[in-house]
Amino acid sequence: MTATNFMQQIINGISLGSLYALVAIGYTMVYGILRLINFAHGDLLMVAAYAAIYAVSLLSLPWQISFPLVMVLTGLFGILLDRVAYKPLRDAPRISLLISAIGASFLLENLAIVLIGGVPKGFPRPEAFARVIDLWGLRIQVLTVYTPVLTLVLLMGLLYIVHRTKVGKAMRAASKDFETTRLMGINLDRIIAVTFFLGSSLAAAGGIMWAMKYPQVNPFMGVIPGLKAFIAAVLGGIGNIVGAVVGGFVLGLGEILIVALFPQMAQYRDAFAFTVLILVLLFRPTGIMGEPITDKT
Amino acid sequence: METSIRNTLCNIALLAVLAVVLYVFEKHGTEYQIRILNNMAIFITLAVSYNLVNGFCGILHLGPNAFITIGAYTSALLTMSPAEKQLSFIIEPLIWPLSVIQVPFAVSLIAAGVTATVFAFLISFPVFRVRGDYLAIVTLGFGEVIRVLCNAMQSLTNGPLGLKGLTPYTTLWWSWGVAVFTVVVITKLVNSSYGRAMKAIREDETAAKAMGVDPYRHLLLAFLISAFFSGVAGGLLAHLITTISPTLFTFFLTFNLLIIIVVGGLGSTSGAVIAAALFAWGGEALRVVESPMNLGFVTLPGIPGMRMVLFSIILMVVILFARRGIMGRSELSWNRVFAALRLQTKA
């Protein structure tokens, strides 16, 4: 493999990894507070992608307005999801919460099939993202460059909220000790709503970028990215936002490079992430940046 | 009359009734009715064995579809004749020992169960290092890995083409025989000291450990037994639909099983049986919503995919508002039936 080719693959890997990272943040934030894998989180990608299609094609809004709008709407949708599927089960056994999450995920997918149809829709990719630029001899679509930049910008914003604002302080407190936080007079329902809002908007950003990268939107488009993003979150150390981003990049790079270096492994690509997951759980269950797991029951 | 003798007699009577019903349907039932009855039995086998892990041990295992796949492929590869295999495997020939072996259906079913158990044992090491959500994802991931492998390992599974033209060995007697056997074995197990240990682990693993119960050993036992029956049911399923491919056994199948055991009541074998029978029947009955409906004055168009929406809603409603499901954790036993009858006569 030539050096140029290799660089190209690295950039592709970073771009894919940043998509995983965007989605992984949402998993890790919700898990940090509720200790719940939000199975329906991946489906928010699909919701956001369809919302963006309708905003651009039906309402004919320019993308500069419609994409942020879709992020806000998906964020609100995330709050709704929590209110309907998870809030009534706060004190129920964990297995019920997980089953509810799986049910919500299937409901979203199948509702999309019934309401929109299973035929993939094209995504109206704005011209601004489709341009191809020449970067030191590499021909790269600008989208590939924008994705990691956007991820880092959103990550900075999120870290600011989590570490420098009062809401963020409450979120961190809730993830350390749910009960004590409640005793301190903090309105946990509001904190959980904010968490779902932030995580879901980031998933929406991921969903829009994903739909621009692979412009085929269908009701099941969120399943595999969702699972892989979850693995990225575990790999980085679940509950840790920076860890989720690191995990996303590692997973994205790993997936692209393994196919680039061993082309005969291409058909095993989807199994790579799960193999990584199994290895991580076997040898370092706390992930790259995770703290040791303490029993919180 | 001694209650245990009475219960045994009642069980025998129930089996006799079942046998008569099956005989009548086999002789006079339509093909459609027989198919539903077969599905019912296979779903009962799958749900009861799945419930052993999820309901009685209280761990969320999301990979039964992996074991069903393994069972289906194992038994299909063993019953196909060498000539058929040569015809099917056009891209890459089947690897050596499998290409010449052909065994009777019964042997292939046992082999399917054993192979699934071996895989379950291998995956149990990473699986039981973790609990809760992690365990759910690892088992889910295992299902995905198996699907990817089925697509990729052409010389073993024929890849995406799958295996076609299997002999339809699965009769009502086979499917219901296996279902009854599964229910008996799982019930015996659950009522033994092993079963009590499993329930103790479900309630509080740390406390169970303090009482000298080894969680790993008991969870592993449940996992392996569940995998065995899932594998056997996979073999039955393969010889019922006669064509298998990697897309047939996705997470979707696991989701259906999850609905069954949640609706039936997590931790109730009789609940799983009832819900599985309802599911197999209801799944067919609900096809109405997907086909055009003529109400005389207006024709409603059928909505494809509506059944799955309904199933998802049922699952969520049960888990949110009626978490006990049909049976909760109680069982339908003869003692309860007779106690209920006695109350009736007194009143």
pLDDT tens readout for residues A107-129: 999 999 988 888 888 888 888 88
Tell me, what's the pLDDT at A297?
41
Find the Cα–Cα–Cα–Cα dihedral B163, B168, B169, B172, rounded to 10°: 130
> Which amino acid is present at A51?
A
pLDDT digits (tens, 9 = 90+) for B102-147: 899 999 999 999 999 999 999 998 888 888 778 888 898 899 889 9
Stretch A155-159: mean pLDDT: 93
Stretch A201-216: mean pLDDT: 92
Chain B contacts to A (CB-CB under 8 A) = 54, 58-60, 62, 125-126, 129-130, 132-134, 136-138, 140-142, 144-145, 148-149, 151-152, 255, 258, 262, 266, 303-306, 308-309, 311-313, 315-316, 319-320, 323
Per-residue tokens: B250: 């996705």
Q: How far is A249 from chain B (nearest CA, A)?
A: 20
Contacts of B123 (CB under 8 A, 6+ apart): B63, B66, B138, B139, B142
Contact check, Cβ <8 Å, B258/A102: yes
Tell me, what's the pLDDT at B176?
95
Query: Nearest 5°: phi and psi at A42?
Result: -60, -35
Q: How far is A134 from chain B (nearest CA, A)?
A: 36
Given the cut 0.90, state whether the ipTM is greater than it.
no
Per-residue tokens: B75: 């038994």
Tell me, what's the pLDDT at B40?
95
Tell me, what's the pLDDT at A46?
95
Contact check, Cβ <8 Å, B312/A88: no
Query: Nearest 5°: phi and psi at B8?
Result: -60, -45
Q: How far apart are CA A156 and CA A149, in angstroms?
A: 11
Q: Is the dihedral of CA A219, A223, A224, A229 positive or negative?
A: positive
Q: How far apart are CA A227 and CA B252, in angstroms?
A: 15
- Does the pLDDT value for residue A233 go beyond 60? yes
Q: CA B193 → CA A139, B197, B218, distances in Å?
A: 67, 6, 10
> Which amino acid is present at A185?
G
Task: Give me the tens of pLDDT residue by residue for chain B, a chain 347 residues long.
Answer: 678 888 889 999 999 999 999 999 989 888 889 999 999 999 999 999 999 999 999 999 999 999 999 999 999 999 998 888 888 887 778 887 887 888 999 999 999 999 999 999 999 988 888 887 788 888 988 998 899 889 888 888 888 888 988 889 989 999 999 999 999 999 999 999 999 999 999 999 999 999 999 999 999 999 999 999 999 999 999 999 999 999 888 888 999 999 999 999 998 999 999 999 999 998 888 877 777 766 666 666 667 778 888 889 999 999 898 888 888 888 888 888 888 888 877 76
Alpha helices, H only, chain A: 3-34, 41-57, 63-81, 94-115, 127-130, 142-164, 166-176, 178-183, 188-213, 223-236, 241-261, 269-283
Tell me, what's the pLDDT at A296?
43
B85 touches B173 (CB < 8 A): no
Q: CA A141 → CA A13, A52, A260, distances in Å?
A: 14, 21, 19
Tell me, what's the pLDDT at B22?
92
Burial class (CB within 10 angstroms; exposed 0-12, middle 13-18, buried 19+) of B239 = buried
Tell me, what's the pLDDT at A295?
47
Stretch A23-28: mean pLDDT: 92
H-helix or E-strand spanning residue A122:
strand A121-122
B232 touches B71 (CB < 8 A): yes
Which residues does chain B have within 8 Å of residue A277's beta carbon, measured at their own beta carbons? 137-138, 141
Alpha helices, H only, chain B: 3-28, 31-51, 64-79, 82-88, 96-100, 105-127, 132-152, 154-157, 172-190, 193-203, 205-210, 215-241, 251-264, 269-285, 306-321, 334-346
For residue A111, give the chain B residue with the closest CA: B309
B186 touches B52 (CB < 8 A): yes
Contact check, Cβ <8 Å, B316/A35: no
Which residues does chain A have within 8 Å of residue B309's beta carbon, measured at their own beta carbons? 107, 110-111, 114
- Which stretch of A9-23, A152-166, B154-168 has the lowest confidence by average pLDDT? B154-168
Closest-CA residue to A207 (of A94, A42, A18): A42
Tell me, what's the pLDDT at A125?
83
Q: How far apart are CA A7 and CA A4, in angstroms?
A: 5
Query: Nearest 5°: phi and psi at A116?
Result: -110, -30
Contact check, Cβ <8 Å, B305/A94: no
Which residues does chain A have within 8 Å of residue B315's beta carbon, measured at their own beta carbons? 99, 102-103, 106
Closest-CA residue to A42 (of A59, A57, A61, A23): A23
Q: How far apart are CA B144 and CA A231, in angstroms?
A: 13
A35 touches A294 (CB < 8 A): no
Tell me, what's the pLDDT at B13?
92
Tell me, what's the pLDDT at B184?
95
DSSP state string for B203-261:
H-HHHHHHTT--HHHHHHHHHHHHHHHHHHHHHHHHHHH--B-TTTSSHHHHHHHHHHH
Tell me, what's the pLDDT at B101?
85
Token match 């890997």: residue?
A: A13
Stretch A37-65: mean pLDDT: 90
Which residues does chain A have within 8 Å of residue B149's beta carbon, measured at their own beta carbons? 271
Contact check, Cβ <8 Å, B60/A95: yes
Contact check, Cβ <8 Å, A271/B315: no
Tell me, what's the pLDDT at B108?
95
Q: How far apart are CA B329 and CA B208, in angstroms?
A: 19
Q: How does residue A37 score in pLDDT terms, banded at 50, 70 and 90?
A: confident
CB-nearest to B255 from A89, A102, A231 is A102
Which residues does chain B have within 8 Å of residue A99's beta carbon, measured at their own beta carbons? 60, 258, 262, 315, 319
Best interface-test mutation with B: which of A269, A278, A296 has the largest number of B CBs within 10 A? A278
The size of the A-B interface in CB pairs under 8 A is 111
Find the Cα–Cα–Cα–Cα dihedral A43, A47, A49, A51, rounded to 10°: 180
Closest-CA residue to A26 (of A239, A202, A144): A202
Contacts of A46 (CB under 8 A, 6+ apart): A108, A109, A112, A207, A217, A218, A219, A220, A221, A222
